[in-house]
Amino acid sequence: MKTIVPPHIAPSTPATRRAAQSRLASRLGAVLLLMAGSATAQTAARDSPQTVQITEKARALFSTGVTLLQDPDGSRYEEAYQQFKAAYAESPSWKILGNLGYTAMKLERDGEAIEAFRAYLEQGGKELTKAERAQFQSDLDTLSATASVVTIRGLPASARLTDVRSPNTGADIKNHYDVPEGGTLVLRVRPGVHRFSAQWGGQPPQTQELETSAGGAHGVTFEEAQPEAPPPPPVQPEPVAPPPEPAPVSMSTRDDGFFQSPLPAYISLGVGAVGVGLGVVFLVQRSSATSDADDKFEACLDSQSCVADDQREMERLDDEAASKGTLSVVSFGIGAVGLGAGAALLLLNGKAEEAPAAATGVTFHPYASANELGLWGRF
């Protein structure tokens, strides 16, 4: 099953391609006869030959690949490549490597083509003609000199990488590669602009573009996208404690402090006395203003000659009497409260001195309303 293929690198004219296909078809019969007559082929180097069993399945796959290369509408390289690759996996004979390398080269899988051509020349030995050896050696040298080495890192084993090259003319050239164990994939590709794409696990698709140069070495690294951190929980406002209720005024006889002494009682008595005194003063002033108003009124009645000024004077005296009366009532109220509170404080203070152990405490709260002012307490 020798590999008989047309020239590999330099494009040939349609006439040359037809001649090459004709030569391939004529020699294919001999190859198939050879395979039918012998169940083995030599696959090792000429110094250490090793027999490889060629199965019927491998011969069928190889024959199908040759037929695909001879398609009248044009060689179907991708399908033929798959057939030759399956045939070599079934029976790894060096005689399959020529066609496998040729189709790999046409698909721009230059790394596989270089390996196949090198093994084909090493293992073919003397079974290769000078012209055949020269052709394959030329293709191998050209690919080795021009192919770019691209190292792919960061992908897990078994992930699939897609390589798309956009040539200056013609359609894009696409190839798929499986990442080997270890996660590092080394490719040899044609110079030009390549787009390397991959998607693995739950990662979003990633694409990296790279322009390779003839004979250059390049690297592409894929990185796992870091999951977005969840937003921080909303900050709950700290609860505002209600303002403390005012503590009642405690006059506990068992506590030391201001209310332990009789001073608050004396102050209350003093306020009460002042209030009563002011009440008396305002009451006298009210009586005086009322008396003056009455006298003025009597004088007007007697004289029968009251004028507007007299009328205004009587109204003023009446207003003054009313105001003094109100002040007198308020002053008497304050005086009464002060005197009552002072007396109560003196009484409690005296009881506290007599029986301090029995006192449990006294609480007073002042109160005021529109009509009253005073203190209430709890014993």
The pLDDT tens digits for 320-329 are 888 888 988 8
Question: Could you write out the DSSP letters of every residue in 138-194?
Answer: HHHHHHHHHPEEEEEESPPTT-EEEEEE--SSSS-EEEEEE--TTS-EEEEE-SEEE
Element (H, E) at 211: strand 206-212
Write out the residue limits of the CATH 1.25.40.10 domain(s) in the chain.
1-145
> What whole-number distance in Å separates Cα of residue 197 and Cα of residue 217?
19
At 359 the pLDDT is: 46
Tokens 């322009």 appear where? Answer: 211
Helices (H), the chain: 14-37, 56-69, 77-90, 94-106, 110-124, 130-146, 263-303, 308-354
Encoding tokens for residue 231?
A: 């937003």
Rounded to whole angstroms, the Cα distance separating 249 from 88 reads 106
Sign (positive/negative) of CA torsion 116, 118, 119, 121? positive
pLDDT (tens digit per residue) in 265-324: 778 788 888 878 888 888 888 888 888 878 877 777 777 777 777 778 888 888 888 888
Q: What is the pTM of this model?
A: 0.53
**147-225 is classed in which CATH architecture?**
Sandwich (2.60)
Distance in angstroms (rounded) separating the CA atoms of residues 15 and 39: 36
Say if CB 77 and CB 107 are below 8 A apart. Answer: yes
Q: Is the dihedral of CA 311, 315, 318, 324 positive or negative?
A: negative
Q: How many residues does the structure list for the chain?
A: 379
Residue ranges, CATH 2.60.40.1120, the chain: 147-225
Domain 1-145 homologous superfamily, CATH: Tetratricopeptide repeat domain (1.25.40.10)
pLDDT in tens, the chain (379 residues): 545 554 443 333 333 344 444 434 333 433 433 344 333 443 333 444 456 888 999 999 999 999 999 999 999 999 999 999 999 999 999 999 999 999 999 999 999 999 999 999 999 999 999 999 999 999 999 999 999 999 999 899 889 999 999 898 889 999 999 999 888 999 999 999 999 999 888 889 999 999 999 999 999 999 888 777 778 888 878 777 777 776 665 544 444 555 567 778 778 788 888 878 888 888 888 888 888 878 877 777 777 777 777 778 888 888 888 888 898 888 888 888 878 887 887 777 766 666 554 445 556 555 555 556 565 666 5
pLDDT of amino acid 362:
55
Please give the Cα distance from 379 to 376 (Å, whole number): 10
Cβ–Cβ < 8 Å for 104, 88: no
pLDDT reported for residue 348: 76
Per DSSP, the three-state class of 373 is strand
